Structure 1
């Protein structure tokens, strides 16, 4: 496998990350995961905008312009023979780079930027969720960033798998519904589509943002709300979203069957048209 590391395409076996890199030692960094269709990264501009905003928020100087990182993504796809693949995944990882021991930020950081790619399989047909113990902290800046530390999410997913579910339903520290381990969640309630608001400790996903714009255009009333788990007893459908899988229906939460809402399929079809348009523009 070939990767793009700090400006050059290299074999993954020869890629060297400094042992003092703060991303490895402290999780001091951010990442983006993108879907590529036939060699074209989908919504690359939105992903790069989120990455740039995140690095500015945490004071991490981005050493390459977003356009240069987008170009690096294309290079990685081509170097790995994925430029014609129907579906591929790209990951852009940015760390603050090597630094002295301790938590204090290095006065002159030398960030590390790594771009990798791989084939992407078809999304699952449906998902089951189980509520997990780890919670999302709305007060933490990292809850709203695509930050490297994913230990809570990892442990939540494993707990859900031990309960016989595909993924975790994560709550906020305030007890509201937040997300799955790696996806945003949407619920159908009284003919309206609702999704947890950003003050619930969620990552504002790229696909989530696209649906917030798309839903009203096809006559779907959509709202961002604080949603307590008790409301799950009254929902008429649910689905999860992220950049790689798009929209995937949720058919069970904590052992309770969730009906298939007919509008989920309509919204998924509209989103696929949006992806097709993005692929053609690429």
Structure 2
């Protein structure tokens, strides 16, 4: 696979792909991204990602790239890189601008698409700790895939330093929101649930598919109720990972339910 990216309308060698020093994505995290699964050279859930990107652009008052342009760009990049299985990272920033917070009246967004090759492997179960960082489910920004990811970065770093693999962030409601880079599914009394968006959960694409498919329902989860859980998984567009424990509370692994979830999410 060649080191090729798609940047602002052209396929480029990654060594020649340049972003301006005054790009607002670089300076202010003024932009969005989507991580899109590639399977057998195809992007089976691209429409969901592009719809969420457009919704995020509307929230940020950022001109959304044309869907047809992005679809063609992705097709061209997959052909150029010969990527069969892996992921695409689609990044959209507001582009360049003057110094300060106020953006230009007529922004010219920067659009970058990159590929990463991978094989679909089952990750080992992870142990989670509760993070000191919180997500504000009442904020419109909690519903977008923002480039401003420092709370997630710090949560993951601090969890690893404490001997865990990942962290759970609470919402401003005091209930569990999500992990550092994934939604959480939790099993309680034989039923599968996921935190609602108002508790701070990002409206993930895999989360939406599981809700639509009847695999889970929305339900708030307070920290004191973690001991009532019998199982949990982290889920995003690329992976499903079983949780072996949250802080001191150990969780069972459920192989058959894991298989059903994995087949539903990643068989297409």
Report TM bin, short chain.
over 0.9
DSSP-derived class of the 2:192 partner: strand
Q: How does 1:182-201 map to 2 (within 5 A)?
A: 182-201=181-200
| SS of match in other structure, 1:49 | helix
Alpha carbons 2:127, 2:246 under 8 Å: kept: yes
CA contact (8 A) 2:24 2:94 kept: yes
Which residue does 1:35 correspond to in 2? 37
Q: 1:39–1:74: 8 Å Cα contact kept in structure 2?
A: no
CA distance in 1, matches of 2:162, 2:206: 28
Give the deviation of 1:95 after TM superposition. 0.4
Secondary structure of the residue aligned to 2:35 is strand
What is aligned with 2:113?
115
Q: Structure 2, unaligned stretches of length 5 or more? A: none
Counterpart Cα distance in 2 of 1:225 and 1:99: 42
Match of 2:143 in 1: 144
Shift of 1:241: 0.3
Q: Does structure 1 retain, via aligned residues, the 8 Å contact 2:226–2:249? A: no
TM-score, normalised by the number of residues in structure 2: 0.94
Alpha-carbon distance between aligned partners in 2 of 1:108 and 1:265, rounded to the nearest angstrom: 48
The 3-state SS of whatever aligns with 2:134 is: coil
Give the structure 2 partner of residue 4 of structure 1: 6
The alpha-carbon deviation at position 269 of structure 1 amounts to 4.3
Alpha-carbon offset, residue 242 of structure 1: 0.3
In 2: Cα distance, 1:40 partner to 1:131 partner = 36
Match of 2:242 in 1: 249
For 1:157 and 1:112, the matched residues in 2 are separated by 28
1:201-280 superposed matches below 5 A: 201-214=200-213, 216=214, 220=215, 222-245=216-239, 247-261=240-254, 264-272=257-265, 275-276=266-267, 278=268
**What displacement does 1:226 show?**
1.9
- Could you say what secondary structure the match of 2:50 adopts? helix
Superposition TM-score, scaled by structure 1 size: 0.90
C-alpha contact (below 8 Å) 1:188/1:261 kept by paired residues: no
1:89 aligned partner:
87
CA-based RMSD: 1.5
SS in 2 for 1:259: coil
8 Å CA contact 1:177, 1:227 repeated in 2: yes
Is this contact kept in 1: 2:135–2:169, CA < 8 A? yes
Show CA shifts across 1:193-223 (max 9, x none): 1110000112110000111122x2xxx5x32
Q: In the TM superposition, what is the alpha-carbon distance from 1:81 to its structure 2 partner?
A: 2.6
Worse-superposed segment, 155-164 or 128-137: 128-137
Aligned length: 265
Q: CA deviation at 1:255?
A: 3.1
Check conservation: 1:239, 1:264, Cα contact below 8 A: no
How far off its partner does 1:123 sit?
4.2
Moved over 6 A (4+): none
Which residue number corresponds to residue 177 of structure 1? 176
Query: Could you say which residue in structure 2 is the equivalent of 1:15?
Result: 17
